[in-house]
A and B are shown apart, each in its own frame.
Chain A
Amino acid sequence: AQSVTQLGSHVSVSEGALVLLRCNYSSSVPPYLFWYVQYPNQGLQLLLKYTSAATLVKGINGFEAEFKKSETSFHLTKPSAHMSDAAEYFCAVSAVNRDDKIIFGKGTRLHILP
């Protein structure tokens, strides 16, 4: 079974500052890991995903995440925050076994301070 924990339900950063959203996972088999973003009144959309290729994954809008097996982490970063990054971010995990469902974290709301 898999699980995912997002540290911090709310994170505030100043515009132009580093964004770091934390995600730790638990999986008994090699995981697939995802970050999704949800803007107000919209569904979730994929930012990036890790599927056992390169450990540093680049996504849309300048975001990237690094898979660290030793730390069971998949933190999301962006070097310089923009006001348009204000949204809710979800980390998710699944596995290679068929019918293993995608498990989402509880989400982190990112606030950008002017």
Chain B
Amino acid sequence: DAGVIQSPRHEVTEMGQEVTLRCKPISGHDYLFWYRQTMMRGLELLIYFNNNVPIDDSGMPEDRFSAKMPNASFSTLKIQPSEPRDSAVYFCASSPDTYTEAFFGQGTRLTVV
């Protein structure tokens, strides 16, 4: 397996634009996590899914953020409209369950100007 695949690796967008981040988890993993990493706040869990169903979205900062998992092999994190304070590295991770290791993607570095 190629591991967790995220795209794009880098995204630069203007304030107010819609941004969509994509993630392909490892095949067979039932759990998918979206994290945001910044210098100020560290690694924050935004939302996680179990079998494509959102379980906990309490970390999603605002209604401008939304996440979907239409099938077991694909998830998106959307920000609409984007703001400069959304600039961060966004990680997707997948796991067979919540008590063994999570496998992380390489991340998407988002810059909103």
A-side residues, CB < 8 A to B, are: 32, 34, 41-46, 49, 51, 90, 94-96, 98-104, 106-107
Contact = CB atoms under 8 A, between A and B. Distances in A.
Contact of B99 (A41, A45, A90, A95): A95
Interface string B7-49: 0000000000000000000000000010000000011010010
Nearest to B55: A99
What are the 9 closest A-B residue pairs judged by CB atoms, nearest first? A43-B104, A106-B42, A46-B101, A44-B104, A94-B99, A32-B99, A104-B43, A43-B106, A94-B98
Contact of A101 (B43, B45, B91, B104): B45
Contacts of B4: 43
Contact of B101 (A41, A49, A101, A106): A49
Interface string B92-107: 0101011111101111
B99 A96 contact: yes
A98 B98 contact: yes
Interface of B: 4, 33, 42-43, 45, 48, 50, 55-56, 91, 93, 95, 97-102, 104-107
A104 B42 CA distance: 9
Contacts of B102: 44, 102
Contact of B107 (A43, A46, A95, A99): A43
Contacts of B33: 101-102
Given A44-B91, A104-B43, A106-B42, A99 B98 contact: yes
A42 B106 contact: yes
Contact of B42 (A51, A95, A107): A107
A101 B43 CA distance: 14
B82 to A, nearest CB: 22
Contact of A100 (B91, B98, B100): B98
Contacts of B99: 32, 51, 94-96, 100, 102
Given A42-B106, A43-B91, A101 B98 contact: yes
19 contacts: A41-B107, A42-B107, A43-B91, A43-B105, A44-B91, A44-B102, A45-B104, A46-B101, A49-B100, A94-B99, A95-B99, A99-B50, A99-B98, A100-B99, A102-B45, A102-B95, A102-B102, A104-B43, A107-B43
